Amino acid sequence: DAKTTQPPSMDCAEGRAANLPCNHSTISGNEYVYWYRQIHSQGPQYIIHGLKNNETNEMASLIITEDRKSSTLILPHATLRDTAVYYCIVSNPTGTASKLTFGTGTRLQVTL
Amino acid sequence: DTEVTQTPKHLVMGMTNKKSLKCEQHMGHRAMYWYKQKAKKPPELMFVYSYEKLSINESVPSRFSPECPNSSLLNLHLHALQPEDSALYLCASSQDGGGRFGGYTFGSGTRLTVV
């Protein structure tokens, strides 16, 4: 699976958009981009995933560049409850040997 | 039911004890996973079961023994653990082999302390 690079930490004011970047320059054609977050002492929570096109759900939007070498997770109106570690993961989901390998993630601190 | 349930939530065991962690899901997911997470570190994959068969073992020591009795249940048997095995053990499941149609669903974990 391709490796990802994320900034170790970011701050965001409550109510503003949080834009979390991720570089995955070695991503291959059949690998998806997944985003998870982990609030302190809880299990990771799935947020969103995509292959090529931009994706949006009730939690967030995922913007993938045309060359697929980077992506951005957007939380449109961050709240204090969005404070967490955010993980960007690339993985090929096919076959019985697929797996999610977590990197070090971005610690997002949302402040008043 | 859209949850992965892990029991117990907390476990303290001695180095000579034998204990088991349990994970259960009723979402019809056919892939299940064990992860280990040390404090302030990302989760590390231990085992993957696909259609009740072990498909990935990430070179985990034999003192950790996984078992998948049926498609809804995943166990992790523990024996002769060391204090450095103290960690949060997370179970996850996905709809197919890798979550192509959605993400993995994680349980809240079992916090294990080995004394």
Q: Residue A58: which residues within 8 A CB-CB, separation 6 or more? A: none
Confidence (pLDDT) at B2: 76
Q: And the tokens for B8?
A: 């117990």
Asked whether residue B102 carries a pLDDT value surpassing 90, the answer given is: no
Q: Please give the angle made by the CA atoms of A39, A43 and A47, to the nearest 5 degrees.
A: 70
Q: How is residue A111 written in tokens?
A: 């402040």
Tell which wins on pLDDT, A92 or B72.
B72
Q: Which two tokens stand for residue A102?
A: 């977590």
Question: What are the average pLDDT values for consecutive 10-residue runs of chain A, which has 112 residues?
Answer: 90 97 93 94 92 94 97 97 96 75 95 95
Which pLDDT score is estimated for A53? 87
B16-39: per-residue pLDDT in tens?
Answer: 999 999 999 999 998 999 999 999
C-alpha distance from A20 to closest chain B C-alpha (Å): 17
Q: Do B4 and A41 touch (CB under 8 A)?
A: no
- What residues of chain A, 50 to 79, have a C-beta less than 8 Å from chain B? none
Report CB contact under 8 Å: B108, A42: yes
Residue A4: strand pairing partners = none
What pLDDT digit, counting tens, does each position of B80-93 carry? Answer: 999 999 999 999 99
Distances (CA, A) of B12 to A40, A51, B21, B114, B115: 21, 42, 12, 6, 7
* Residue A93 confidence (pLDDT): 75
Q: Encoding tokens for residue B11? A: 């476990």
